[in-house]
Structure 1
Amino acid sequence: MSQQQSASNLKAFIRTIYFLHYGIMLSLAVFSGYAIYSSRRLGSLSFTQQPMEFIIPLSLIGAIILGKFLTKLILNNNKKPKTLLQKLGLYQTTHLIRIATVEGVGLFAALTYLTTNNLFFLLIAGLAMILLIMMIPSKDKIERAITLTPEDEVHFRNPEKKFDS
């Protein structure tokens, strides 16, 4: 039996979720950079009405909508978590779902650029990166996303305070 190590205080939790978020952003940036580097020349921007030119932007819109829907569904579930640590765990799960769906579409767009050399797909990957930058978690965003009890608010005012077991 393995047990997952959890954050000891809010500051450690935020540091962990930053690390995960920036890791996902880095993977999209590195793969997009690889796609640009490996193409012999920078492609051209064209709209040829191929199916992928419709599917990928619609997928990005769908990923944003799906991410928001799942976040609200999971965080507003009837089985409300009791402790702040459980609430933060749910927030981390929903945040990873939101950014992973956007990252997946961005990676697919960069891969499509790699195969078609059409800058349109690289622009979609860039848009996915901008969306990921806008989704960077902060203490305020976390506080707005989860419902806090007066005991939970103590941790947000003092991020160094250890979580109760």
Structure 2
Amino acid sequence: MSGFFIGIDVGGTNLKAGLTDETGRLLAAARRPLDFRGAETFAADLADLAAEVLSTAGAAPGDAEGVGIGLPGAVSGGEVLYTTNIPLERTDLAALFRRRLDLPVLLGNDADCAAVGEYFQGAGRGLRDFVVLTLGTGLGAGIILDGRLRGGESSSEAGHMVLHAGGEPCPCGRRGC
């Protein structure tokens, strides 16, 4: 068995994982509450969740091509630059994850990941331009323009635009979001 892909959505309150085949068909899913106790434990929780969906489908870690992890914040390569509701900053999450489950890891902003998913498998199929709004603990926006993700460090942080300078404190560290 090969050609499996694991997707993990990190929300402000829950972690969700799914295992798909190469066509995007969902084979297994798992969910658990977010219980953040530090970066290393968080990475281990993500790896355990990935292992759970593999096991549920009767697959082994070697059967997976890789893991995509969508986080509420900004990422660069395998590093979390910052998150909006989880105290992670300048953390090499991919390396921490691979200590527990040695698979290729791709990190992305959760709203960007949602937009890419919709582009290939959902409501965005066949469209060249659209916006996906994500609503959960926070607000995000994934933007596809001319068939390409308009990503970047802060492109999807729609809920963290300062609308009122000096306003109420926000979990992202700014005021007036």
Work out whether the TM-score is over 0.5. Answer: no
Query: Which one has more relative contact order, counting CA pairs under 8 Å at least 6 apart?
Result: 1
TM-score normalised according to structure 1 size: 0.27
Structure with more helix by fraction: 1
**Quick check: which has more Rg, 1 or 2?**
1
Structure with more strand by fraction: 2
TM-score normalised according to structure 2 size: 0.25
